[in-house]
Structure 1
Amino acid sequence: MTAATLSPLPEDKQPLVARLVEGLDVDALHWLSGYVAGMAAQRQTSVKGAAVEPIAPAAEVQARLTVVYGSQTGNAKRLAEDLGRRVTAAGLAVRVVRADAYPVRELKQERLLYVVISTQGDAEPPDDARALVEFLGSARAPKLEDLRYAVLGLGDSSYPQFCAIGRQLDERLTSLGAHRLFATGEADVDLETVAQPWLEHALQQAREQLKTSAPSAKVTPLRTARSSPIWHREQPFAAPLLLNQRITGRGSDRDVRHLELSLEGSGLRYAPGDALGIWPTQSPPLVDAVLKALQLEGDAPVQANGEEHSLRMWLSERRELTQLTRPFFAAHAERSGDDHLRELLSPASRDALSHLFSRWQVLDLLQRHPASWTADSLVAALRPLAPRLYSIASSQSVVGEEVHLTVSHVDYSLDGEARWGAASRYLAARAEGESASVFIEANERFHLPSDNDRDIIMIGPGTGVAPFRAFVQERAERGASGRNWLLFGNPHFYSDFLYQAEWQQALKSGQLHRLDLAFSRDQADKIYVQHRLREQGRRVYDWLEGGAHLYVCGDASRMARDVHKTLIAIVTEHGNRTTEDAEAWLNQLIQQGRYARDVY
């Protein structure tokens, strides 16, 4: 008689357990057995049939810190968990909760709350925090006179509404009667500059607020503590380039590359849906142009952040040059004395400034509105260079110690002068055998369903198709029985059909069950993925009603918004719902993890 025969598990669940424990070491298996035993005990003692987690006793809440995070790319999650580890090490009780898992009914009982939340695009919350932000902004939100709180906002100052969601939550909590413990942090893409002091202050305040509690708090982690990987964001792996291939045709105005890098010997692991972080360096011609525009010497020594390097090195490896930011724009406006630049910083000029930021780089501002900068002041004013994240286009269970990317080389002309993107040019210029500095950024909200019987709908125009190449590879490797449906779009069929041969083979082999295409410029009327989505509205709704997972990857400013509007229209029409009910239904899918977006 086999172990499988003795198992009380249903037959369809036994392979899932085997897959779960595959590759786990002894410590992880011991932790998992204890965690599952704890779950069993909790269910055994709970009321039969009850599915609602009991509200924590008031005494427990008063002696505990709650950290809620809303994260789109993983940065807010990483900082929240870092704070949780610091508080735990200090012997204090803490729970770290993703926003969509936070029981809002407990909010009125909270006494100490920290919120770490990012702002996406033009003042939008991350997907996992949408419901919480809406709840706090509604009439249902309770009075919070007994709550003490602090907010750490994450954002990108190249967008006019920098850290808007963090500010919004801070103001709303105050209006509900809560007491702000210290100023809201507003961290730019170079997170650590603001985040680390904020975390230190947060820990100090937690000690003060919880000093009456027991000196040694018992903390029950929700997941096993993992040892830090050798290679990470602050210590990237030098991955040799195996392949750098253009996959758009000669007639295309887009240069899209398929890149394959080796992770051999790194120990790095990733899942479909995760991202690869790239630490780029600035192109030498761009650095030369900035030095020339400011009449500065590249060899000039500059001290900053406790380090000393030449100005050229700072500009090449440590400072952002291809993206304008509001703080640098404001500093340059003051130095130039240009009234027009100052006017652009006013609230009334928000749209004009946003349009300018979408076109100009640092060099364009320096050339068109001259001002005097010293080497030291320039390095101090420019934003630190940050890594770029690219959706991984491969399944590691298929490609092994490799990672594949789909990268659009940003290379254009502005008023007759060449401009390019930092990371895309860095990658496009790599020759096979040369290395790129990389790390893995997990994106748990964009992973495949654990149930292989679930259908999935993938919407990925342009390079947004990258993670879905990984999805289809992984589902085929798993032998998943669920159907796979891809909607892909780009300008032209003959020159811009990315991975055409692979998709056609996947259809032929049954790994892909449906493929809808939208080539916008192959006819007089432009056709985009949202149009194909609307044409298949009945089928889309039926798949979702049947439990399918929906994924959207690509442009946040236009495509993702248009797709979401189309989904609302589909649910309204085919689900016989009002617009408000359709939006609520889609929000439920988001909270359930069945509607996930990886947008940028």
Structure 2
Amino acid sequence: MHCSEMNALAKQYPQASRLFVLTSTYGDGDAPASARQFMARLKEFRAEKNLRYTVLGFGDRQFPNFCQFALSVDAALAGKGVSRLHAIELIDRCSASQFSEWGNRVGEVIGTPLFLNYCALQPATVKLELVERADYGIAVQAPTSIFRFKPAEQGGWLTASPRRFKALPPFEAGDLLGVIPPHGQPPRFYSLASSANDEIVEICVRKQAGGLCSGYLHDLKPGDCIDGFIRPNPGFRPATGNRPVILVGAGAGIGPLTGFIRNNTRCNPMYLYWGGRDARSDFLYQPELGRYLEDHRLSGLNTAFSRTDERAYVQDKLKQDELAVRQMVNTGAQILVCGGRDMAAVRQVIEDILKPLHIDIETLRGQGRYLEDVY
């Protein structure tokens, strides 16, 4: 038996008779990092006549493009003339029971029992104390808060220079904070707006209707503690160097983008496009962004508010600036997008802006110049 990531698909497997493809979907229906080269490699793939395949997708049904990449892989393999061993199945939120049932069904097809018992590894957590929160958006029915934590007293800070978290590994803005909700539920992940050098663990969270973890966080008072852990997310980082960086976000997606700006101490060109509802209620990070404009860590700020007379969205601001955006991309700019799953309109506007350059988002993505953190 041979096992490898999807990016390592070979041109052929002469001795294989079965191909099992297990994949998640990232963001708005895209491939995860370990499978971004799969479709390109599949074009050169030569399947043996006796090879049969099955695809198992993992995702979250709250997203409109649930397991879309798995569905695309299944269709692409069929388009290559490979026969299905078993119809595609989709697993919602890492359901252990669905995974086990899939193993039973596939085991019957291949004549070999497959007893699959998925047990999620519980990460080692650190107790974090809420030291400060800034609340926005209540007046526009979009309660959003910036939470700042520090390791609880037993973690503390190292006094050596440079100072680092004693109880947490090094982390950067754009990495993820896993928060353990009450009652033993699976962790929820939030993009970090801080780095370890900031000596604070900072996240920006909108309270979701019926959201177990967001509601839990919004009920916290300074002095309360949570259990959390760091998950690296190196695929969402501004490039080093002095080429322009275009940051695009909406709502709580401004969190990691603000962290990138905060860390831009060399004052490289960095432009932020961000959308909220009403500047009087939910202009997140307004004081900080004003300071970053003054000290040139932020080169330009363009905001859009949908619940004002302007009735504008962040994609409208991008379109208004399309010539400038296109020029920056033409000179090597990188684009980073962060926000909810309704950011598809932003992607379409960026595609339109790129057309005169005869490139598209996928081309930029392949060059590491278009990165998304969509939740």
TM-score normalised by L of structure 1? 0.52
How many matched pairs? 345
Over residues 104-154 of structure 1, what are the superposed CA-to-partner deviations in whole Å (9 max), with x where a residue is unaligned? 7x43467666533223577x2336556644775xxx565422656553411
Q: Does 1:261 align with 2:51?
A: no
Partner of 1:119: 25
Partner of 1:289: none
Question: For residues 230 and 130 of structure 2, what CA distance do their matches in structure 1 show?
Answer: 16
- The structure with more strand, counted as a fraction of residues: 2
Cα distance in 2 between the residues matched to 1:130 and 1:447: 17
Which aligned pairs between 1:277-292 and structure 2 lie closer than 5 A?
A: 277-281=178-182
Conserved in 2, the CA contact under 8 Å of 1:119 and 1:163?
yes
How many angstroms apart in 2 are the aligned matches of 1:518 and 1:181? 50
Q: Which residue of 2 aligns with 1:438?
A: 228
| 1:82-481 alignment runs, 5 A limit | 97=7, 106-108=10-12, 115-119=21-25, 124-126=29-31, 128=33, 129=35, 132-133=38-39, 140=43, 142-145=45-48, 151-158=55-62, 162-178=66-82, 186-190=90-94, 233-248=122-137, 251-263=139-151, 264=155, 265-281=166-182, 317-318=183-184, 385-399=185-199, 402-411=200-209, 420-449=210-239, 451-476=240-265, 479=266, 481=267
Give the secondary structure class of the aligned counterpart of 1:241: strand
Distance (Å, rounded) in 1 between the aligned partners of 2:126 and 2:285: 28
Q: Is this contact kept in 2: 1:395–1:471, CA < 8 A? A: no
SS of the aligned residue for 2:287 comes to helix
Aligned-partner residue type, residue 569 of structure 1? D
Is the alpha carbon distance of 1:198 and 1:234 closer, same or farther for their aligned partners in structure 2, counting shifts above 3 Å? farther
The equivalent of 1:346 in structure 2 is: none
Is residue 263 of structure 2 the alignment partner of residue 499 of structure 1? no
**Rg (Cα) greater in structure:** 1
Contact 2:205–2:214 (CA under 8 A) maintained in structure 1: yes
Cα offset, 1:486, TM superposition: 0.5
The equivalent of 2:320 in structure 1 is 535
- Is the 1:397–1:474 contact (alpha carbons within 8 Å) kept by the matching residues of 2? no
Give the conservation status (yes or no) of the 8 Å contact 2:147–2:203.
yes
The CA deviation at 1:390 is: 0.9
Partners of 1:539 and 1:404 lie apart in 2 by 32
Q: 1:259 to 1:274 in 2, by over 3 A?
A: same
1:570 aligns with 2:370: no
Stretches of structure 1 that go unaligned for 5 or more consecutive residues are 1-62, 69-96, 203-207, 209-231, 282-316, 319-384, 412-419
- 1:594 matched to 2:349? The reply is no
User: Cα–Cα, structure 1 residues 111 and 405, in superposed 2: closer, same or farther, change >3 Å?
Assistant: farther
Structure 2: distance between partners of 1:238 and 1:172: 46
Deviation at 1:460, TM superposition (A): 1.0
Distance 2:98 2:123 in 1: 16
> What are the superposed Cα offsets for residues 346-387 of structure 1, whole Å, 9 maximum, x if unpaired?
xxxxxxxxxxxxxxxxxxxxxxxxxxxxxxxxxxxxxxx432
What is the match of residue 159 of structure 2? none
The aligned amino acid for 1:67 is E
Question: Where does residue 551 of structure 1 map in the other structure?
Answer: 336
Please show how residues 68-87 of structure 1 align to structure 2 within 5 Å: 68=6
Any idea what SS the aligned residue of 2:242 has?
Answer: coil
Match of 2:274 among 464, 488, 493: 488
Q: Deviations over 1:166-220 (max 9, x none)?
A: 2442353245244667775633213555568989x99xxxxx9xxxxxxxxxxxx
C-alpha change, 1:161 and 1:513, in structure 2 (3 Å) is closer
Question: 1-side partners of 2:36 and 2:315: how far apart?
Answer: 22
Question: Secondary structure in 2 aligned to 1:116?
Answer: strand
Q: Name the CA shift for 1:171/1:64 in 2 (closer, same or farther; >3 Å).
A: same
User: Residues 442 and 183 from structure 1, CA distance in 2 versus in 1: closer, same or farther, beyond 3 angstroms?
Assistant: farther
Higher helix share: 1
Distance 2:72 2:372 in 1: 22
Give, in angstroms, the shift of residue 472 of structure 1.
1.2
Cα deviation digits, residues 13-68 of structure 1 (max 9, x gap): xxxxxxxxxxxxxxxxxxxxxxxxxxxxxxxxxxxxxxxxxxxxxxxxxx954321
Q: Secondary structure at the match of 1:271?
A: coil
The answer as to whether partners of 1:460 and 1:552 remain within 8 angstroms in 2 is yes
* Residues 27-42 of structure 1 mapped to structure 2, 5 A cutoff: none
How far apart are the structure 1 equivalents of 2:303 and 2:321?
A: 12
What per-residue deviation string (whole Å, max 9, x for no partner) do you get for residues 376-403 of structure 1? xxxxxxxxx432211111122222xx31
**Distance in 1 between the 2:320 and 2:167 partners?**
46
> In structure 1, what is the Cα distance between the partners aligned to 2:353 and 2:44?
30
Q: Which amino acid counterpart does residue 149 of structure 2 have in structure 1?
A: L
TM-score by length of 2: 0.80
Distance 1:469 1:187, change over 3 A: same
Q: SS state of the match for residue 542, structure 1?
A: helix
Closer, same or farther in 2 for the Cα pair 1:66/1:563, shift >3 Å? same
Distance (whole Å) between structure 2 residues aligned to residue 549 and residue 252 of structure 1: 32
- Partner of residue 17, structure 1: none
Q: Structure 1 residues 446 and 120 mapped into 2: Cα distance closer, same or farther (>3 Å)?
A: closer
Aligned to 1:321: none
DSSP-derived class of the 1:66 partner: coil
Letter in 1 for 2:178: G
> Residue type matched to 2:193 in 1?
A
Once the two structures are TM-superposed, the CA of residue 510 in structure 1 deviates from its matched residue by 0.8
Report the 3-state secondary structure (helix = DSSP H, G, I; strand = E; otherwise coil) of the residue aligned with 2:177.
Answer: strand
Maintained 8 Å contact 1:125/1:165: yes
Q: Retained in 2: the 8 A contact 1:131–1:587?
A: no
**Match in the other structure for 1:508:** 294
